[in-house]
Amino acid sequence: MSSTASGKNGTWRNWGGNVVTRPAREVTPASVDELAEALRRAAEDGMKVKAVGTGHSFTSIAATDGVLIRPQLLTGIRKIDRDDMTVTVEAGTPLKRLNLALAREGLSLTNMGDIMEQTVSGATSTGTHGTGRESASIAAQLKGLELVTADGSVLVCSEKENPEVFAAARIGLGALGVVTALTFAVEPVFLLTAREEPMSFDKVLAEFDELWAENEHFEFYWFPHTGSTNTKRNNRSAGPAEPVSQVAGWIEDELLSNGVFQVAQWVGRAAPATIPAIARLSSKALSARTYTDIPYKVYTSPRRVRFVEMEYAVPREAVTETLRELRTMIDGSGLRISFPIEVRTAPADDITLSTASGRDSAYIAVHMVKGTPYQGYFTAAERIFTAYEGRPHWGKVHTRDAEYFAGVYPRFEEFTALRDRLDPDRLFQNDYLRRVLGT
Ligand SMILES: Cc1cc2nc3c(=O)[nH]c(=O)nc-3n(C[C@H](O)[C@H](O)[C@H](O)COP(=O)(O)OP(=O)(O)OC[C@H]3O[C@@H](n4cnc5c(N)ncnc54)[C@H](O)[C@@H]3O)c2cc1C
């Protein structure tokens, strides 16, 4: 997987292949000063600006036909502070590099998402999350942030310094400025024991509250057209480490999760009628396993099958009802869904436009393999999610607009007022932000 999104002949293309743009200019600043200069030049030339990460968003949130700021030269660890237990990194640092560097220092983030290809700034800007009972998104682990705003000035913020900016800019959607450095809370590296186990969909729904309450990190994948799920429970462990062996890891993660899954997707795309049978086989391919390892090796794994995704956060207490409706919709629709549906949770946090802002949340993610029509499925799923005041992931496909967000985010106007203050001329505007935040 390439470390940054790119396209051909001057185009920029996201990982999912569903967003393609042609920026007028590309800049790869190597310092905060060079970045500030690039912003000043763009403003003088009357051009819009967008900083991108690795293009792992499925929405056009990172798209621009103006100046594209690439992250490659703003990478690396600035400082590890063992008294405060924080690490400060340059904004373009890939999560993978951060995780490896922290592990070498005997440190770790508390929680993370499914992959670690994204940049730290890209991941936090859209609210990237894993699953957790007490521990929340990657942005919720931030202690500080450095931002270059539209006028070229550098703004440092934390709970104590510019707290109103910190409240919003941790998940800033690229709308408030260009993030140049992020300070994360870290902890001594720890071990997690992962228990992966098939379980019936009805049992997971019936016992969801207990499964959530009894585990630090509970998630599951449901295979549509079947009554089967794969559950995953990650809990801290005193050890010893018992990693997945290289051979078993290759068979389970590469061959079954990526290789066989890819073939199943090709067959399903060519002959949609076979999908329910393939789904039944896929749901049985992975058997139970238990392993113990350091956090990033348990939380993340490679995703080689390209797909397009929609994910909504609904109030946690509504998750089983929402999933039952989703099952009824799929069963009655004639849709053929070959990709499992992923369900995760997050506790309420205090970030203005976090999908879990002020609300204990459950995430439901629907996927379609790249190249297959997804609109019918996603539209029907979105109708169900929005009936529960769902909040879409900012980086995953959705059709909501500013009017909708004003209704589901109690602090929406706090964010737009800050944007008016920091970017009155809309240097960081693009079509996506016009839709979700207003002009
Ligand atoms: C295979 C795959 C797996 C995924 N797994 C998960 C998951 O487990 N959990 C989850 O929540 N999401 C997941 N996602 C979604 C992904 O984490 C987010 O879309 C994330 O934002 C992508 O990061 P990126 O570095 O590619 O940023 P991009 O998509 O390139 O950009 C995202 C946003 O960040 C802004 N941005 C980037 N850099 C800066 C900067 N320096 N200053 C200001 N703004 C900036 C951009 O302008 C844009 O608004 C996944 C996506 C894929 C493709």
- Residue 63 in contact with ligand 1 by CB distance below 6 A: no
Residue with CA at minimum distance from ligand 1 atom 53: 56
Q: Which domains occur in the chain, in start order?
A: 77-188 (3.30.465.10), 191-392 (3.30.70.2520)
Q: What is the reported pLDDT for 326?
A: 98
What residue owns the CA closest to ligand 1's atom 22?
56
* Cβ of 430 below 6 Å from ligand 1: no
pLDDT of residue 302: 86
Contact by Cβ (8 Å): 292, 243: yes
Q: How many Å apart are CA 229 and CA 362, to the nearest integer?
A: 17
Question: How high is the pLDDT of residue 405?
Answer: 98
CA 360 to CA 213: how far, in whole Å?
13
| CA separation for the pair 120, 115 (Å, rounded) | 12
Angle between helices 261-270 and 275-285 (to 10 degrees): 170
Around Cβ 439, how many Cβ atoms within 10 Å? 8
Testing ligand 1's pocket by substitution, the residue of 52, 54, 301 carrying the most ligand atoms inside 8 A of its CB is 52
Helices (H), 105-255: 120-125, 163-169, 201-206, 208-214, 246-249
Q: Over 296-354, what HEC string results?
A: HHHHCCCCCCCEEEEEEEEEHHHHHHHHHHHHHHHHHHCCCCCCCEEEEEECCECCCCC
Letter for the amino acid at 249? G
- Going from the Cα of 70 to the center of ligand 1, the distance in angstroms, rounded, reads 13
Q: Is the CB of 278 under 6 A from ligand 1?
A: no
Mutate to test the pocket of ligand 1, among 26, 39, 125 (most ligand atoms within 8 A of CB): 125
User: How far is ligand 1, taken at its centre, from the CA of residue 259, in Å?
Assistant: 25
The pLDDT score that the predictor gives to residue 4 is 55
What is the best residue among 3, 49, 128, 363 to mutate for testing ligand 1's pocket, by most ligand atoms within 8 Å of CB? 128
Residue 119's closest CA among 21, 26, 8, 3? Answer: 3
Alpha carbon 373 to chain centroid, angstroms: 22
Q: Which atom of ligand 1 is nearest to the CA of 114?
A: 8
Whether the CB of 54 sits within 6 Å of ligand 1: yes
How many angstroms separate the CA atoms of 96 and 145, rounded?
19
What's the pLDDT score for residue 248?
A: 66
- What distance in Å separates the CA atoms of residue 334 and residue 74, rounded to the nearest whole number? 48
> Which regions in the chain score pLDDT beneath 50?
1-3
Q: How far is it, in rounded angstroms, from Cα 356 to Cα 62?
A: 22
Q: Is 66 in the pocket of ligand 1 (CB under 6 A)?
A: no
Residue 404 is inside which H or E element, if any? helix 402-408
What sign for the dihedral angle of Cα 200, 206, 212, 215? Answer: negative
Measured torsion, CA atoms of residues 328, 331, 332, 337, in degrees rounded to the nearest 10: 120
Give the closest residue (by CA) to ligand 1 atom 33: 122
